[in-house]
Structure 1
Amino acid sequence: MIGAGMGAMAAAARLAVAGHRVVVYERTETYGGAVRRFERDGFGFDTGPGVLPLPAVWRDLFLKTGKEPLEDCVRLTQVDPSSRHVFADGTEVSLPNASRAGVVAALDEALGSGAGQRWGDFLVRAREAWDRTRRPLLEEPLWPNWAVLAGREPYPAVPHKRLLRTRRAATLAEIGAWELRDPRLAALLAGHALGYGLDPGTAPASAAVLPYMEHAFGVWYVDGGIRELARAVYERCMRRRVEFVFGAEVTGVLEKDGRAAGVELADGRVAEADTVVGTGPWRLRGLLPGREPYGPGAVEPTAEELFPGRVVVCLALRGGREPGAAHRTVVHSPDATAELDLFTAAGTPERPTVRIDRPDDPALRPDAAHESMVVTATVPSAAGYDWSAPGAADAFADRMAAAAERAVPGLRERVLWREVRTPVHTERETGAVGGAVPPPSLAGAEGTLHPSNSTAIPGLFGVGGWSHPGGGLPHAGMSGALVAGLIVEGPDFRGSQ
């Protein structure tokens, strides 16, 4: 196993239970991939995901790999409200968790009569897209005839008359303009896309499944931080006798008789194996000079550096968290059009949309008189912007703090210190080119599909965010389940049940 990311560990635990001896070689000194924690002076911060959607994926892993269920290993708390939103015009709304009626009522009260119903009707259509794509994009190996997923749009868009033509929304931006018909609802939808590193102007309408997934299955927090989920998965692997070798960089994949037969390490060691589970497609190519791991007709991996990254600002604050503060607040950019230049230009948004995580968690602060806060923004990757240039990271962090202060007045006066983490840190920790963050797989003509977990080389498999079914914590867990199924049951494996 190459790498100890969440998808790789999910595969490792399942394979160990199936009777395989599993050895994981991790280039860095810890596990979890992008699910990291920064600690200093009694403060703790999740520097990767801040909340957990679709926890059933990880419940299934623990159910299938041992006697202790997930809730015996970590404490899950449903986040309520699921999110608070501050829009460009100053309007605010807090959305209850996993309640369509509650969301409709909250939006009607905050945005005006009819707004909630339009969002509720959108969620009904998003559910249809979810029902059509859930199995092929989450629970099944990538279809050999994968091109059908890139054809017909699964989102049932409402016909829209424009001039003399009838059109149907093909992107999230068009859903916002033609179906939601309120710039604040459009911003609410766009915020979900940005959170996954997607441009709402080009993301397919099928990306409606992303807000639907959070709405239908709730948003959860792991007490102690999401890093605790990574710890629990790592410990489950250890109990199943998975071996971890940290500080071990894999520099090549061995082949024998036309199939993968082990790995070469940077220190010259060779580890033989019957099966090799690798990392992202581009790195697999680098480990197989002169060989193409993906055969004719396969999904061609998109260059990682073409995707955006994230800047994460960890704030150590004096003063306690006020009672009733939302766990997650999204402050939407007052200049949404200019913000989307981050997907096409080398510059950073002048007034970015920011996501603020304020967990009410004593484990992440030194005492009740202090608070830990994480502010995140989607930005160009380090391949398109020089985040290491003097002052670049701090200047953008200042703009993020100014945006966050729209939701948390007096924020900057409370800051004891801050830690700014850019795509440069992400690249160092995950190996992704430019520190890019993989989006989830999406169907439709403008969708993004990631290469299959199987490769053209027998015994070689891909796992994690850059392989099917793409990025995100639920997708990582499913990636591990799919790889384990393909190895244990063979090419006839048809998916998770």
Structure 2
Amino acid sequence: MARIAVIGAGMGALASAARLAVAGHRVAVYERTQTYGGAVRRFQRDGFSFDTGPALLPLPAVYRDLFVKTGKEPLEACVELVQVDPSVRHVFPDGTRAALPNASRAGVVAALDEALGPGAGQRWGDFLVRAREAWDRTRRPLLEEPLWPNWQVLAEREPYPAVPHKRLLRTRRAATLAEIGAWELRDPRLAALLESHALAYGLDPRETPASAAVLPYMEHAFGTWYVRGGLRELARAVYERCVARKVEFRFGAEVTGVLEKDGRVAGVELADGTVAEADFVVAGVAPAALHRLTRGTAVRGDGEVPAQRGTASRLTVLLALRGGQPEGTAHRTVVHTPDRESELDALSGRTPGPVAHPTVSVLRPDDPALVPDPGHEAVTLSTVVPAGSQADERHAEYVIAAAERAIPGVRDRLLWHEIRTPDDVAEATGAEGGAVPAPALAAAGGRLLHPSNSTRVEGLFTVGGWAHPGGGLPHAGMSGALVAGLIVEGPEFRGSR
């Protein structure tokens, strides 16, 4: 039985802690804040309750597997999962609206044909077939296996089978999401639908590799799920599973250093000066924090995937509304910007200041647990902003104005609103500027891959969104599984099959 210190109580860290405890190890989690879940937080006021981080669960099989492997009670016995249908409603700048059924290719094709015109659905359906091929080629190395030592293969090879396109007497293939939209989908509304999946992580579709086609494919193939009571309930269930497996938690315990002895980790040092000895250390922190904890010791060697520096964060506006939710309201609506180039330029830092017409995600869960009574509604608005940006009421007004296209008369119903800024994300996660990591993606020279879970320091492992396989709830859960496998089985571990 090994002593294992886990730094941070984010979802990836919790997933690794539960699995390691079941394997017979003595696991202690040290969390600098007073609660668990990382970015998966909740805000409550006047009987209203809101998710302030992720609010929907794609690929729930990752957490089903975690609960199967760590106890007798399955995930569905601990939380209530509800499939969201329609999966999403899109509101485009020209006023067109399209509601897409959950996990139904035929239904999506029919819905897009009806909303956007004949042929639109078929083009999107054909795109999904190609996206599935990219998924099949990258699923194991980018989600289910430790990062390959020869990761350059993933960096150089584009898995998306783009359709040949004649341009200026030359035949070219789409290398970015923007080119897929322009050359294969051939409709600005379909292009906006596609690009919204990259934009959700702050990725510029003009530069994001075509391999990002796996993001809409995952939503299509595995559906979109809501956890009754809010996604914070999933974090609670994972935390309680850890406690049931005898994981020790120390909240308000800031780790200030990772201790080494003879080239191997020996434990962690806390802000109060105490030392906790450990045979393994699992760090669920952002790269800059890990650098501080190791006091400048290089944990990555030459030729390894370098740590990413997050550039995008999230601005969230929470609305408490009078009046119950109208019948037929979509759980999620994406309101697309009428000025795509300006939004992307602002996010990339090419132009300063807030975006006057941002793309906004509108979440309106039909859940009595979130409101004081049926005569009220809790709505969450979110948009991507540059990491470290100082959001204020002007930003919130732009977001609310965009949401009016999805919720007519929203200002007349507004009781109050709260703003959650990149500073709040930073406080919850410890990531510099409140940066939000993206999932690992192939191609693009490897700039969207994440560092391996193992490090040059023997016994030190990294977990969570800033390590392989990157950000997003499914990826965080898989990072926990990979770290547990590497510790329990050793370097020969090659993932579950």
Q: Pick the TM interval, shorter chain.
A: over 0.9
Partner of 2:315: 311
Is the CA contact (8 Å cut-off) linking 2:44 and 2:50 kept in structure 1? yes
- Tell me whether 1:340 sits opposite 2:339 in the alignment: no
- Tell me whether 1:328 sits opposite 2:332 in the alignment: yes
Which amino acid in 2 is paired with 1:126?
A: A
Partner of 1:434: 433
In 2, Cα distance between the equivalents of 1:337 and 1:326? 28
Displaced runs of 4 or more, over 4 A: none
Instruction: Tell me the CA shift for residue 303 of structure 1.
Output: 2.1
1:374-394 Cα distance to aligned partner (Å, 9 max, x none):
000001111xx3x1xxxx411
Instruction: Tell me the CA shift for residue 243 of structure 1.
Output: 0.5
SS in 2 for 1:22: strand
In 1, Cα distance between the equivalents of 2:146 and 2:13? 16
- Tell me whether 1:293 sits opposite 2:299 in the alignment: yes
Partner of 2:394: 395
In 1, Cα distance between the equivalents of 2:117 and 2:53? 35
Instruction: Tell me the CA shift for residue 281 of structure 1.
Output: 2.7
Partner of 2:463: 463
- Tell me whether 1:420 sits opposite 2:419 in the alignment: yes
Overall identity of the aligned pairs, in %: 73
Is the CA contact (8 Å cut-off) linking 1:84 and 1:95 kept in structure 2? yes
Partner of 1:371: 377
- Tell me whether 1:84 sits opposite 2:83 in the alignment: no
SS in 2 for 1:399: helix
Q: What root-mean-square deviation, in Å, do the aligned CA atoms of Structure 1 and Structure 2 show? A: 0.8
In 2, Cα distance between the equivalents of 1:223 and 1:168? 43
Instruction: Tell me the CA shift for residue 348 of structure 1.
Output: 2.2
In 2, Cα distance between the equivalents of 1:416 and 1:343? 34
- Tell me whether 1:475 sits opposite 2:479 in the alignment: no
1:181-232 Cα distance to aligned partner (Å, 9 max, x none):
0000000011111112211111110000000000000000000000000000
Is the CA contact (8 Å cut-off) linking 2:308 and 2:466 kept in structure 1? no
Partner of 1:356: 362
Is the CA contact (8 Å cut-off) linking 1:83 and 1:95 kept in structure 2? yes
Change in Cα spacing, 1:290 to 1:369, as seen in structure 2 (3 Å) is closer
In 2, Cα distance between the equivalents of 1:322 and 1:102? 24
In 2, Cα distance between the equivalents of 1:468 and 1:34? 18
In 2, Cα distance between the equivalents of 1:163 and 1:111? 28
Alignment map for 1:167-246 (pairs within 5 Å): 167-246=172-251
Instruction: Tell me the CA shift for residue 282 of structure 1.
Output: 2.4
More displaced 10-residue stretch of structure 1: 346-355 or 101-110? 346-355
In 2, Cα distance between the equivalents of 1:328 and 1:255? 48
In structure 1, the gaps of 5 or more residues are: none
Which amino acid in 2 is paired with 1:24?
A: V
Partner of 1:252: 257
Instruction: Tell me the CA shift for residue 347 of structure 1.
Output: 2.5
Which amino acid in 2 is paired with 1:19?
A: G
Alignment map for 1:120-135 (pairs within 5 Å): 120-135=125-140
Instruction: Tell me the CA shift for residue 490 of structure 1.
Output: 0.2
Is the CA contact (8 Å cut-off) linking 1:280 and 1:462 kept in structure 2? no
Instruction: Tell me the CA shift for residue 407 of structure 1.
Output: 1.0
Instruction: Tell me the CA shift for residue 84 of structure 1.
Output: 0.4
1:74-109 Cα distance to aligned partner (Å, 9 max, x none):
000000000000001000010000000000000000
- Tell me whether 1:49 sits opposite 2:54 in the alignment: yes
SS in 1 for 2:276: strand
Within the candidate set 138, 149, 152, 2:157 is matched to: 152
TM-score by length of 2: 0.97
Is the CA contact (8 Å cut-off) linking 1:348 and 1:380 kept in structure 2? no
In 2, Cα distance between the equivalents of 1:460 and 1:419? 39
SS in 2 for 1:128: helix
Is the CA contact (8 Å cut-off) linking 2:288 and 2:432 kept in structure 1? no
Which amino acid in 2 is paired with 1:350?
A: A
Alignment map for 1:250-289 (pairs within 5 Å): 250-278=255-283, 279-289=285-295
Is the CA contact (8 Å cut-off) linking 2:287 and 2:308 kept in structure 1? no
Is the CA contact (8 Å cut-off) linking 2:89 and 2:333 kept in structure 1? yes
Which amino acid in 2 is paired with 1:60?
A: D
Is the CA contact (8 Å cut-off) linking 1:280 and 1:463 kept in structure 2? no
In 2, Cα distance between the equivalents of 1:411 and 1:192? 26
Partner of 2:3: none
Instruction: Tell me the CA shift for residue 50 of structure 1.
Output: 1.3
Instruction: Tell me the CA shift for residue 289 of structure 1.
Output: 1.7
Partner of 1:406: 405
Which amino acid in 2 is paired with 1:432?
A: A
Within the candidate set 14, 17, 23, 2:22 is matched to: 17
Is the CA contact (8 Å cut-off) linking 1:331 and 1:355 kept in structure 2? yes
Instruction: Tell me the CA shift for residue 290 of structure 1.
Output: 3.7
Which amino acid in 2 is paired with 1:231?
A: R
Which amino acid in 2 is paired with 1:349?
A: V
Is the CA contact (8 Å cut-off) linking 1:347 and 1:380 kept in structure 2? no
1:40-59 Cα distance to aligned partner (Å, 9 max, x none):
00000001111100000000
More displaced 10-residue stretch of structure 1: 371-380 or 284-293? 284-293
1:431-487 Cα distance to aligned partner (Å, 9 max, x none):
000001000000012550110000000000000000000000000000000000000
Which amino acid in 1 is paired with 2:436?
A: V
Within the candidate set 31, 34, 48, 1:29 is matched to: 34
In 2, Cα distance between the equivalents of 1:79 and 1:301? 35
Which amino acid in 2 is paired with 1:405?
A: E
Instruction: Tell me the CA shift for residue 166 of structure 1.
Output: 0.9
Is the CA contact (8 Å cut-off) linking 1:441 and 1:468 kept in structure 2? yes
Partner of 2:68: 63
Is the CA contact (8 Å cut-off) linking 2:208 and 2:444 kept in structure 1? no
